[in-house]
Amino acid sequence: MEGSHWVKWIKTTFFLSCFFLFPTVFYFLSSISVHRPVSFINSGNAPNSTFRLRWWIPSVSGDGTPPLALTLPSPPRFIPKKAMSSVERDLARARAAIRRAVSQKGNASSSSTPVTGDEYLNVYRNPAAFFRSYSEMKKRFRVYVYEEGEAPLVHDGPCKNIYTTEGRFIQDLDMMRTIRTRDPSRAHAFFLPFSVSMMVKFIYVPDSHDHSPLHRFISDYLHVVSSNHPFWNRSAGADHFMLSCHDWGPYVSRANSELYNKSIRALCNANTSEGFNPRKDVSIPEIHLLTGEIPVEIRSPPPPHTHRPFLAFFAGGLHGPIRPFLLQHWQDRDPDLRVYQYLPKNSNMSYHSFMHKSKFCLCPSGWEVASPRVVEAIYTECIPVIISEGYVLPFSDVLKWDEFSLTVSVADVPRLKELLSRVTDEEMERLRRGLRAVRRHFVFNQPAKSFDVFHMILHSVWLRRLNVKLP
């Protein structure tokens, strides 16, 4: 009996100690904050518990310009190494390698640069960071593609129209055995392989203005994915990405709040006024390949000293508010500025011939900010003149667009000839050198090649994934 008495006393003492000590310890631990967390509630078949998701948010200027490539903070201290997953340890090693490259000047060797010659490094925001990051991506990055869904809405996309980027990326990733993994436990990112363009083609009722069928499809697809796998719920979609070149891509992504607010969205329509967030989203180029190949006229770079008698060129429909304003001021107003809604019927020059003959190619936004003429201008080394509002240019987390293009505000359209005439021959040659340097970043290859548009899109996703810290 005496022994039993002592056992009861010990249990009572231990219980009271825990009762008074636990609130103190809990308060102390909860007061420790290294980064301000964002909390999400798990859904689907996951336990109903709240977890914290840490974000590394790079600074973004007020005009929506992305930060310099890979401005990474020090490794966070709130997760000990032994508690980190193998995937997170892999990402931590990549971040450390990139930081070392940035700290060592002159680290971008000519053997790793996409174009020989140091002068071409000017087109990159941070050459050392970019080339090391790209190398780490090729070595480490693994993407899991969800197998749920069937063509044509999933695992398929257009490859021979203005939405070519959408279909080619889906196909190229499917064939990229060195990057695509069949083992989701090894994946750093998860791709949602649905095609918004194919949804519009097959389940949208023309002229109905009813997007609800598209929204339902996205909602249902994510429900299936989150029910069959734990990965979406684990991160609230933060390590998942979608890709769309259709104008409606941003709107369709609103079907799921986590997809819209947390996931990486690779979009051609990268308009900050329509919810594009350069901190987590990826701007991709719109490439129009009518036959699936680059048109013969612009397939090869033009000779370095091509004669260009026209100051500037534009031809296109009156879509959106900017183009009518441009044509109002310059259509048939000046022989140096060839500005048309439709090419003259009596002209023996094609659209691409005008590009070859012009010093500058005007790239005003239509209803949406993106336009394939930006990439076509790069192919023809006709200096792009971006006339837009809220457009985050493709790969601007890595590329310095002012090294191979000009930007003119909408308000300055009436002064267009004055502004373009000020550009010296030396300045134009510098910009064309930049165009030659970045050309391969905007070309699809079959199969995909290093530094081409497929790998640049993937690298932009890799950058966003590096800036997300998961438990």
CATH number at residue 345: 3.40.50.2000
> How far apart are alpha carbons 200 and 178 in whole angstroms?
32
Say yes or no: 218 and 359 in one domain: no
Q: Same domain for 361 and 455? A: no
Position 360 scores a pLDDT of 99
Helices 453-466 and 127-140: crossing angle, nearest 10°? 90
Residue 207, phi-psi category: left (phi > 0), alpha (psi -120 to 50), beta (remainder)? left
Average of per-residue pLDDT across 309-338: 96
SS3 content of the chain, % helix, strand, coil (to 5): 45, 15, 45
Closest residue by Cα to residue 147 from 112, 120, 174: 174
pLDDT above 70 for 326: yes
Q: Which residues have C-beta within 8 Å of that of residue 240, sequence separation ≥ 6?
A: 189, 190, 191, 192, 231, 232, 259, 263, 264
Under DSSP, the state recorded for 383 is: E
255 and 307 part of one domain: no
Which tokens sit at 52? 């914290």
Q: What pLDDT was estimated at residue 35? A: 29
Digit-coded pLDDT (tens) for 16-36 = 444 433 333 333 323 322 322
Question: Is 116's pLDDT higher than 90?
Answer: no
Please give the residue that has the higher pLDDT: either 45 or 263. Answer: 263
Question: What pLDDT score does 469 carry?
Answer: 83
Q: What is the pLDDT of residues 130-159, one digit of tens each?
A: 999 999 999 999 999 999 999 999 999 999
pLDDT digits (tens, 9 = 90+) for 50-67: 223 333 333 333 333 333
Q: What is the pLDDT of residue 119?
A: 53
Asked if 351 and 342 touch (Cβ cutoff 8 Å), the reply is no
Tokens at residue 383, please? Answer: 């200096």
**Does 6 lie in the same domain as 119?**
no
Strand order in the sheet with 143-145: 143-145, 189-191, 240-244, 264-267, 282-283
| Domain co-membership, 455 together with 402 | no
- What's the confidence (pLDDT) of residue 220? 98
Of 360 and 332, which is predicted with more confidence?
360
Let me know whether 225 and 334 are in one domain: no
Residues 107 and 221 in one domain: yes
**pLDDT at residue 118 in the model:** 54
Alpha helices, DSSP H, located in 142-195: 164-175
User: Which of the two residues, 291 and 32, has the higher pLDDT score?
Assistant: 291
Amino acid at 247: D
Contact 101, 127 (CB under 8 A): no
169 and 261 assigned to the same domain: yes
Amino acid at 209: H
Residue 240 contacts residue 264 (beta carbons within 8 Å): yes
H or E segment to which residue 293 belongs: none
**Residue 273 DSSP SS3:** helix
* pLDDT attached to residue 80: 42
From start to end of 373-465, where are the E strands? 383-387, 406-407
Closest CA to 102 of 151, 62, 67, 77: 67
- The whole domain housing 343 covers 299-442
pLDDT at residue number 236: 95
Residue 176's identity, in one-letter code, is: M
pLDDT score recorded for residue 434: 97
Closest residue by Cα to residue 288 from 198, 370, 199, 183: 370
- Residues 334, 432, single domain; the answer is yes
Which pLDDT score, from 0 to 100, does residue 19 have? 40
Amino acid 111: pLDDT? 41
| Dihedral pair phi/psi, residue 430, rounded to 5° | -60, -45
Using pLDDT thresholds of 50, 70 and 90, give the confidence band for residue 104.
Answer: confident
Tell me what percent of the residues of the chain surpass a pLDDT of 70: 79
Please, are residues 225 and 232 in contact by the beta-carbon 8 Å criterion?
yes
Q: Are residues 390 and 366 in the same domain?
A: yes
Question: Which residues fall within 8 angstroms of residue 197, CB to CB, at 6 or more apart?
Answer: 157, 158, 163, 166, 167, 244, 245, 246
Predicted pLDDT of residue 470:
83
Check residue 357 and give its pLDDT. Answer: 96
Q: Structural domain tally of the chain?
A: 3
In this prediction, residue 105 has a pLDDT band, given cuts at 50, 70 and 90, of: low
From CA 194, how far away is CA 171, in angstroms rounded?
12
Q: How does pLDDT run across 375-389, given as a tens digit for each residue?
A: 999 999 999 999 999
All residues at 6 or more sequence positions from 293 whose CB lies less than 8 Å from its CB, including other chains: 299
The predicted-structure confidence for 391-449, as pLDDT tens digits, reads as follows: 999 999 999 999 999 999 999 999 999 999 999 999 999 999 999 999 999 999 999 99
Query: Bridge-partner residues for 311, per DSSP?
Result: none
Alpha-carbon distance of 237 to 229, in angstroms, equals 12
Same domain, 165 and 46: yes
In sign, the C-alpha dihedral spanning 207, 212, 214, 215 is: positive
Is the domain of 74 the same as that of 207? yes
What pLDDT sits at residue 117?
A: 52
Nearest alpha-carbon partner for 276 in 397, 117, 104: 397
